[in-house]
Amino acid sequence: MFRFILRRLLQMVLAFFGTTLIVYALMFAGQGDPIQALAGERPVTAAQRAYLTEKFHLDQTGVGGFFYRYFDYVKNLLQGDLGQSLTGRSISDILAAAWPVTIKLALIAMAVTIVFGVTAGVLAGIRRAGIFDNSTLLLTLLVLGIPTIVLAPLAQYFLGVRWQLFPPTAGADPDLYALLLPGIVLGSLSLATALRLTRTSVAENLRADYVRTARSKGLVKRRIVSVHVLRNSLIPVVTFLGVELGNLMSGAIITEGVFNIPGVGFNLFRGIRTEDGPLVVGIVSVLVVVYLVSNLVVDVLYAVLDPRIRYE
């Protein structure tokens, strides 16, 4: 187990450098004239140009200059300094302000997924081919087929503006109620997947030998399902949810934008839109770490849940 984790950690270091290098290159190497790009269509004065050139080490040109800037960046990153956005704000501050609300949103989405997705999945699995099973199949296909970019504004318009059941946007410092609608929208996609996964798994396990044995020795159905079937069926679902949590944390760019929630995705979107290279690279670097760690946790958890799996 220890050796497995160590090996994974070493791989993570490689993956981290690889991804940040690629992101850094995509963000900065493609620009012809980053200073002009920063100024948009306005002419740049010589003074402004000199100031920015010095500030972002643009005096080093070519491939050498790129690596110079990249290693400069990584050096600061390893010291915990994410640098400044182009507007001069510390990226660590931006992220510190953005994380709490994103985590809150992710947890709500996760709760929605578990409560509705897993419950409905179990029910559909038990009553396979029934009305409930078929209607949830139809519904989940529908949800999986509609991208968030359509679903979120639709939900906002009908539930927020038309029928006024929820506040149309959450804003800063939102209460739980304001985050509910975005949470449901965000969770709906993983809800559908979790539902299908649970259903298949439950349906499969219901036909397993140990269930027949349990039934023949006279156990009540509720106990068979809740103790024996559920426990075994949830193993794939839990792994899925673990990975999904990493996904949700990484910022729901669309959902946060539509509902005006100043979280991580919101800031990432702004960084991309305003071509704020340092901000994008900073956020993505942190997200890479979040992904790597959540993947590792899921892998380890897998062994805990399923004793048959051994890491050596």
Partner 1 sequence: MRVRRLAAWTALPLAVTLGLVACGSGGDGGSGESNPDAAVRIEIAEPQHLVPTNTNETSGSQVLSALFSPLVDYDEANKPYEVAAESVTSSDNVTWTVKLKDGYTFHNGEKVTADNYIDAWNYGAYAPNGQNSSYFFEKIAGYEDMQGDAPKAKTLSGLKKVDDLTFTVTLSQPYSEFKTMLGYTAFYPMPQAAFSAPGVLAEGYEQAPIGQGPFKMKGTWQHDAKVEVERYDAFPGEKPKVAGVEFRIYQQLTAAYADVLSDNLDVIKTIPTENLSTAATDLGDRFQQSPASSLQLLAFPTFQKEFSNPDVRKAISMAIDRDEITKSIFKDSQQPARSFVSPVVAGYRDDTIGAAGTFDPAKAKALYQAAGGPSKIELSYNGDGGHKDWIDATCNQLKANLGVECVGTAEPKFADLLTKLKAKQPVGLFRMGWVMDYPSMENYLGPLYSTNGSSNYYGYSNPEFDKLLAEGASAGSEEEAIKKYQQAEDILAEDLPVIPLRYGQNNFGHSTKVTNVEMDLFDRVDLLKIEAVK
Q: How many CA atoms lie within 13 A of 199 on its CB side?
A: 23
Please state the separation of Cα 165 from the chain's center in Å.
27
**Span 220-259, contacts to partner 1 by CB under 8 A:** 256-259
Q: Which is nearer to partner 1, 156 or 198 (CB)?
A: 156
CB of 51 to partner 1, least distance (A): 4
DSSP 3-state percent helix, strand, coil across the chain (nearest 5): 75, 0, 25
Question: Nearer to partner 1 by C-beta: 44 or 301?
Answer: 44
Among 267, 285, 291, 298, which residue sits at the site for partner 1 (rule: CB under 8 A)? 267
Nearer to partner 1, 272 or 290 (CB): 272
Please select the residue that binds partner 1; options are 94, 184, 189, 245, rule is CB under 8 A: 94
Q: How far apart are the first and last CA of the chain?
A: 6
Q: Which two tokens stand for residue 219?
A: 């156990």
Query: Would you say 249 or 258 has its CB closer to partner 1?
Result: 258
Judge whether 211 and 229 are in contact, CB under 8 Å. Answer: yes
| ∠ Cα 71 267 24 (to 5°) | 20
Looking at the Cβ atoms of 95 and 194, the one nearer to partner 1 is 95
274 binds partner 1 (CB under 8 A): yes
Return d(Cα 281, Cα 258) in angstroms, integer: 23
Task: Measure Cα distances from 260 to 26, 102, 103 in Å.
Answer: 27, 12, 15
The rounded distance, in Å, linking the Cα atoms of 33 and 37 is: 6
Q: What's the closest the beta carbon of residue 249 comes to partner 1, in angstroms?
A: 18
Query: Whose CA is closest to 24, among 75, 93, 84, 74?
Result: 74
Nearer to partner 1, 121 or 168 (CB): 168
Structure tokens at 273: 């839109």
Residue 66 CB contacts under 8 Å (≥ 6 apart), including other chains = 25, 28, 29
What burial letters (b/e) apply to 237-255, b meaning 16+ CB within 10 Å?
Answer: bbbbbbbbbbbbbbbbbbb
Shortest Å distance, C-beta 201 to partner 1:
38
84 binds partner 1 (CB under 8 A): no
Taking CB under 8 A as the rule, does residue 87 contact partner 1? yes
Which residues within the stretch 39-78 sit at the binding site for partner 1 (CB under 8 A)? 39-43, 45-48, 50-52, 54-55
Count of residues touching partner 1 (by CB under 8 A): 52
Stretch in the footprint of partner 1 (CB under 8 A) among 126-134, 155-163, 232-240, 293-301: 155-163
| Nearest distance, CB of residue 24 and partner 1, angstroms | 19
Binding to partner 1 (CB under 8 A) within 6-45 occurs at 32-33, 36-43, 45
159 to 178: interface string for partner 1, x by CB under 8 A: -xx--x--xxx-xxx-----
* Residue ranges that bind partner 1, judged by CB under 8 A: 32-33, 36-43, 45-48, 50-52, 54-55, 86-89, 93-94, 97-98, 153, 156-157, 160-161, 164, 167-169, 171-173, 256-260, 262, 266-267, 269-270, 273-275
